[in-house]
Each structure stands twice: as structure tokens, then as C-alpha cells.
Structure 1
Amino acid sequence: MAKKKVLCIGLVCLDIINVVDKYPEEDTDSRCLSQRWQRGGNASNSCTVLALLGSPCAFMGSLAPGPVAENLPDVSAEDFSRLDLSQYQWIHWEGRNAEEQIKMIEQVREHNSQQQEDDRITISVEIEKTREPLYQLFPCGDLVFMSKDVAVHFGFHSAAAALRGLYSRVRKGAVLICAWAEKGADALGPDGVLVHSDAFPPETLVDTLGAGDTFNAAVISSLSGGGSLQEALTFGCQIAGKKCGIHGYDGILQ
């Protein structure tokens, strides 16, 4: 029997990356060494990394023909209702159009209520942007990824403090995770035990674009494969660190 898939829902976009020899100082000109166009967007990036890690996965979002697409609509609850949910073991939402996403998550909860425990879908959400409407997603996920930006927005100065301060917002039994760049990542679950992993910085910092998406994907890959929270957090930091030392994603397993 084929393994059920991880579905990522959110944005796909075009990233245009200019490569320079050092990080540019403010108000200075820098010569561009090279430029590349690559597919981007949080959910799309996470799906790319999941595939590289060997996790069966799928992406749901708006696509358009041509090299550049503008004003694509976000996935609606009506779009989502057409899915056969039985093919997924995990669904991850990149926080965007929160009201519609809550309706989608309610559809999954309804589906889960009719399933045996082993067939229930795990729900994860990412709250990355400091936008008030997104904060209504906190109580929606079995696993909630909160960005450093959001933690700082709420007045916290470390991942551990943010998790303890905001854990009351998540649903009973959920796990709240916060990555804090070079300081690694922390997680807090229903047992009240804070789990931490140090960062694994590369020898040379090359490309941090999508590092958070990579971290999220690696955590999901590990947990969906039966890993513990500590194992998943450490794996997430390892793969995100590896990604920061290469251009794009293709070398993360070397």
C-alpha cells in the first residue's frame, strides 16, 4: 500500500535572486555576480524539500502559465472541498487567507472524526507574518510553527519565552514550535517540557532564502515518519543549516 502524502497549501511565486560577493552595505552599489530565477513561496518550498527528503507530497495553490504570474487567488474552502482527503496523512497550511483556511481545517476535523486513529490527518499551520488575522490560526493546528518575527511582535526575546507565553493560544494537545535563526529552535508540547535544538550553521553562509520553509519541511518529514519531537527539531535545524550553505535546495542531502 502506497504511503499517504503530505499536502502543503499556500503560495507559489517567482523568486529572482541576485548573487553578490558579500552582503551589501546600506546605500552602496554592489556588482551582481549572477542572477537566477527559481520557484518560491513558503508552501512550494516546503514541498520541494519534502520531496528531496523522500516524503510523498503534494502542493495545492494557484498556478498560471507563463514565467511570471500576478494576483493569483488563494485556495478557498470550496476548492479544498473537492479533495479526496483519504490520500493524505498530513496537511500543512502556510498562513494566508485565515478565514478560508479555518473552514478547510474544519473539513479535516470532520473527516478525522469519522476515522480510526491511524487514519487521521495531522494538521499543521505556519504563522510567519505579523498580521493580526493570521493569529486566529493559533488554535487550529495539531502542530503550529510560529516565526521569530511573530514572537518578537508579541514582545518576546527568545524562542523559549515566546513558547511559554503563547502556548495558551494553541489547542489542547498541540505542539508549538519556534525557530530562532542562529540560536536554533525550541518546541513545547502538552507535557510542558521545553525541547531545544542548537543551530547547525554551514562553514560559509551562502543562501538563507527558504531556510524557514526547509526547517518546517524537515520537521514534518521526521514527525510523519515516526520521529520524536526532539529528533524532528534537531533534523529540522540540521537540514535548514545545510540549506543555508548552498544555493537553492538540490544539495541538502549531500
Structure 2
Amino acid sequence: MLCVGHVCVDMINICSSYPEEDQKVGTTTKVNRCHDQRWQRGGNAANNCTVLGLLGAKPSFLGTIAGSHEKTFLLDDFAKYNVDTKHVVVHEDCDCPASCVILSMETGSRTIIHSNKNLPELTVEDFRKVDLSSYTWVHFEGRNVSNVVGMIEVVRKHNGSHKDVKPVIISVELEKSKPELSSLIPKADVIFVSKDYAQFQGYTDMAQTIDKIHSETRPGSLVICPWGEKGASARLKEGQIVSCHAFPPDQVVDTLGAGDTFIAASIFALAQGHKPEDSILFGCRVAGAKVGVRGWEPLSHLFKDCDFLPAVEDSNSRRDVVMNTT
């Protein structure tokens, strides 16, 4: 599986509560404490790779990385989660994108302040250098839209010239409140639509979102819409909408990357041939587990010991995810 998108350094501050303006938050402050502070690799596609690696897949990351001192940290952290980075494009003399993240223990919320000074986005020419015959699935983070459209066309041409093998499945994420993301809807085989994007378009619930988005898709495409604490829904190629509830933990600890976790877990199940309804159920279960732990490392032990991994229906043969993939 190849995940295409962004990677950055997340500078995470875990506080008792979200600080007020001009408030000092320290490790010994009684009113509001900083309980932990750490660096963590971030970015939607990078997080997708982390979860896929933890689940036992063989993910690859494709994106740009600055040739600054943070490069070693990012590449070492990818390797820690068995993520292949041979395709990354390094730009020397650039600053590494970074996010300052405040996690509130009181509410579980995460506030992100992001900065990308001068790191160029991935180009279509960068993408053409990848040997797509090595992959069964390519997932695109919803950013750098004009170039992503061109990259998807590269995958389509690859599928058209390799009709003797299973086509590479294309998925995209529509997350941010950006109108240009709509141009990706008719391009992909699987479309993940976030609650934020849906509400930006004026949709009020999962069913309405799926109906509206589906009207713009390719024939046979799968539309999936996670909606936080309300679970997730998907529209089957027969037209039926299936839904599943969320799996909140006993205590919300860290919501950072929950949406990325849902997408990665759903892709993991779909790519193995499981039905969409089973796949989004699996996605909700894994995302719920993520919200209940801090960071990513605890998930490796949870996935090893927890019995919800076999909950996705076993399959001896891969089912078709979409009808039209060329």
C-alpha cells in the first residue's frame, strides 16, 4: 500500500486543560499543568502509514521531506513502524513543516497550529518515478489537489496498460474545508469524506453526505463517511447505505490522528477483500482504541492482544471493492 501526502514534526503538549490566553503552563503549575511534551511524526498520510504498519501491512510513504536536521528523526520514526520510505523526495535548504499541538486532558480535544514555510509539494513527475506494479492500493491525502489529479491519471494509465493483473485501487481523503477537493470525487474508487468537509458543503448527517457525494462519483465507487462519536457509514455499490456505531474508550486520552486511524484501518480491511460494512466496523473499533491511548506505541500491544482484530469476517478470496477500476 502506498500513501501519498504530507509528513511533519508534531510538537505535542499534554495539558490538564486548554490554556487561557497569556497563561503560563508548566510542569509544576497547580492550576493547569503540562504533563508531557514530546516530538511525534505527523501528517495524515504519514499517520496512515503508521497504523497500517502496526496492523501488519507493508506500507510505503511518498511525499517531500526537508533536508534539515529533522529529516533523521522522521526517517528513523518511519522505520520504527516498518514504513518504507525509498520514494521520499528530499529538498535541501528547506525548513521542516511543524505543528504545535495542545492536547487537553480535560476534554480530549487537540488544537493544532501548523506551519509550512517553504517545503515544496510532491509533483506529478515525482510520482511517475514510482513503480506502481509493486502496489495494490494507492491512497491520496486530500491536499496538493491539482497535482493529485495528475497522479491519479498516472495510476489509471498504469491500470489500463496492465489489464492482465488486478488493478491498483485508488482512494482519496476529503478532510479540509476546501472547495477544490470536490475535483477528486469523480477520480477515485474509494472516497473518505470527513465530517468537517461534509458540513463545509452544507450536509447535516452521514446519509445526506453519502447521497450527495455519490452522485458525483465514478460508477461502482465506494463512499465512506466517518462522523466521530456517531460512527461511520458507507454506500454499497448496490445503493444500500450501511452504518456502524462508534467504539469510544472508557476515557478519551488522545484524539490526535483518530481520523487517520479510521481511514488506515478501513483500507487495511478493504484491501484484504472484506465487505465495506465489516471494514468500517473495523475502522471504528481501531479508531476507538486509538482515542483511548497516548500516541501510537501502545497500539502495537493492544492489536497483538485484543480480540477485535478477527472480528472482520474472514474471506478465502478477495471480494471486489469497486466495479470499475480502470
Shift of 1:98: 1.1
Which residue number corresponds to residue 12 of structure 1? Answer: 7
Which residue number corresponds to residue 185 of structure 1? Answer: 232
Q: 1:96 corresponds to which letter in structure 2?
A: R
Q: Distance in 2 between matches of 1:118 and 1:149?
A: 37
Which residue number corresponds to residue 120 of structure 1? Answer: 167
Which residue number corresponds to residue 114 of structure 2? Answer: none
Q: 2:176 corresponds to which letter in structure 1?
A: K
Q: Does 1:105 align with 2:132?
A: no
Which residue number corresponds to residue 51 of structure 1? Answer: 53
Q: Distance in 2 between matches of 1:157 and 1:110?
A: 37
Shift of 1:166: 2.2
Q: Does 1:69 align with 2:96?
A: yes
Q: Distance in 2 between matches of 1:117 and 1:164?
A: 34
Q: Distance in 1 between matches of 2:188 and 2:164?
A: 17
Higher mean alpha-carbon deviation, 46-55 vs 111-120, is at 111-120
Q: 1:191 corresponds to which letter in structure 2?
A: E
Q: Distance in 2 between matches of 1:169 and 1:83?
A: 29
Q: 2:51 corresponds to which letter in structure 1?
A: V
Higher mean alpha-carbon deviation, 213-222 vs 12-21, is at 12-21
Shift of 1:75: 1.1
Q: Distance in 2 between matches of 1:200 and 1:26?
A: 31
Q: Distance in 2 between matches of 1:216 and 1:107?
A: 23
Shift of 1:133: 1.5
Shift of 1:207: 0.3
Shift of 1:83: 0.8
RMSD: 1.5
Which residue number corresponds to residue 134 of structure 1? Answer: 181
Shift of 1:160: 1.4
Task: Give the greater-gyration-radius structure (CA).
Answer: 2
Q: Distance in 1 between matches of 2:21 and 2:65?
A: 36
Uncovered stretches (5+) of structure 2, i.e. residues with no partner? 24-31, 71-94, 98-117, 303-326
Percent identical pairs in the alignment equals: 45
Q: Distance in 2 between matches of 1:185 and 1:16?
A: 30
Higher mean alpha-carbon deviation, 172-181 vs 155-164, is at 155-164
The 5 A counterparts of 1:36-47 are 36-47=38-49
Uncovered stretches (5+) of structure 1, i.e. residues with no partner? 1-5
Q: Distance in 1 between matches of 2:154 and 2:208?
A: 33
Which residue number corresponds to residue 3 of structure 1? Answer: none
Q: Distance in 1 between matches of 2:229 and 2:19?
A: 21
Shift of 1:117: 6.2
Which residue number corresponds to residue 146 of structure 1? Answer: 193
Q: Distance in 1 between matches of 2:248 and 2:200?
A: 25
SS at match of 2:246: coil
Q: Distance in 1 between matches of 2:286 and 2:143?
A: 25
Q: So what's the TM-score if we normalise by structure 2?
A: 0.73
Q: Distance in 2 between matches of 1:177 and 1:26?
A: 37
Shift of 1:27: 4.9
Which residue number corresponds to residue 18 of structure 2? Answer: 24
Higher mean alpha-carbon deviation, 186-195 vs 60-69, is at 60-69
Q: Distance in 2 between matches of 1:80 and 1:150?
A: 26
Q: So what's the TM-score if we normalise by structure 1?
A: 0.93
Which residue number corresponds to residue 140 of structure 2? Answer: 93
